[in-house]
């Protein structure tokens, strides 16, 4: 598969590739295929700078990338932290100010939306608090993530009712898409917060909202990782609305063919869909000199 690669990847140490996961690197069944894992791992072993930027937490990122070797930290929680996959620890974390978190929680609950409150505790553990009666979608979200080694869910516990939970790194809300986008607009005026609202990759009638510390985004995180790596050229891959900020700051913005219309419009390059290993194959084509994206 890699016989067409240039003899050395030294020319590419100045080029970093960062890809979103869901809808982009992951296939429609939400996994990294063996083909994509093999391409990215081989390139990374030869010195390529490849990483991911995702709304997911390390609790699900680690299993998804279990067979994919990369050398750089993963950007997790939409840029609120980086995850060192080798040493299995957080770095560069950005916590929400307690008063800003309390205001956001109150606003959401007043509108009938109960958020998942993510608190970063010791031993790189995320404690996730939820209060109220979860909707079927919220219950499925939690059930799909229960039992993971890096995340614990707490339902209707007294600690989760506190006005502000210490070390809150993320407020995560699920609801009807129109309501989620309306609340995101309301909360967007709070300068102590960074709001990201987008369609659920697997059900576009459902809206997702992430509330983060001021200044946190995939954009700020990919620029920090670019600086950390020493690379001069940044290529990013995305498909959803929360990828638009990092696409705006990239040297080359690439969208998969299945991307939202706004993402396709913002892209410099459009590749095949996430069902065809398009991200990994595109990186390989650049590394082999078959394609130049700048």
Each residue's pLDDT tens digit, 22-40: 999 999 999 999 999 999 9
Give the pLDDT confidence score for residue 202 in this predicted structure: 84
Locate 66 and state its tokens.
């279990």
Q: How far apart are CA 75 and CA 221, in angstroms?
A: 7
For residue 238, which of 191, 286, 274 has the smallest C-alpha distance? 274
For 140, the 3-state DSSP assignment is: helix
The ranges of the chain with pLDDT < 50 are 3, 7
For the chain, how far is it from start to end, CA to CA, in angstroms?
Answer: 24
pTM across the whole model: 0.89
pLDDT at 220: 96
Beta-strand runs (E) in 38-150: 49-52, 74-76, 81-84, 89-91, 116-120, 126-130
The answer to whether the CB of 19 falls within 8 A of the CB of 52 is: yes
162 to 37, 81, 115, 153: CA distances (angstroms):
43, 24, 13, 16
């Amino acid at each position: 598969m890699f016989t067409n690669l240039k003899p050395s990847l030294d020319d590419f140490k100045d080029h970093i590739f960062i890809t979103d996961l869901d809808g982009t690197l992951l296939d429609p069944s939400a996994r990294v295929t063996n083909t994509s894992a093999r391409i990215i791992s081989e390139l990374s072993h030869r010195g390529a700078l490849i990483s991911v930027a995702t709304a997911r937490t390390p609790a699900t990122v680690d299993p998804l990338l279990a067979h994919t070797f990369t050398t750089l930290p993963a950007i997790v929680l939409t840029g609120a932290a980086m995850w060192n996959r080798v040493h299995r620890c957080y770095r560069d974390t950005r916590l929400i100010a307690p008063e800003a978190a309390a205001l956001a929680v109150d606003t959401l609950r007043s509108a009938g939306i109960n958020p998942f409150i993510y608190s970063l505790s010791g031993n790189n553990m995320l404690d996730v608090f939820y209060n109220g009666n979860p909707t079927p979608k919220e219950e499925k979200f939690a059930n799909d993530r229960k039992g993971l080694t890096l995340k614990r869910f707490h339902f209707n516990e007294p600690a989760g009712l506190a006005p502000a939970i210490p070390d809150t790194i993320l407020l995560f809300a699920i609801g009807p898409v129109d309501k989620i986008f309306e609340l995101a607009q309301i909360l967007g005026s709070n300068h102590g917060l960074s709001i990201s609202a987008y369609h659920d990759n697997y059900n576009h009638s459902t809206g997702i909202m992430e509330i983060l510390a001021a200044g946190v985004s995939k954009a700020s995180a990919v620029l920090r990782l670019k600086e950390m790596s020493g690379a001069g050229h940044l290529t990013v891959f995305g498909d959803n609305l929360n990828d638009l900020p990092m696409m705006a700051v990239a040297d080359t913005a690439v969208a998969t063919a299945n991307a939202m219309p706004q993402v396709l419009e913002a892209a410099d390059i459009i590749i095949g869909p996430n069902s065809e290993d398009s991200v990994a194959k595109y990186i390989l084509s650049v590394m082999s000199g078959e394609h130049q994206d700048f």
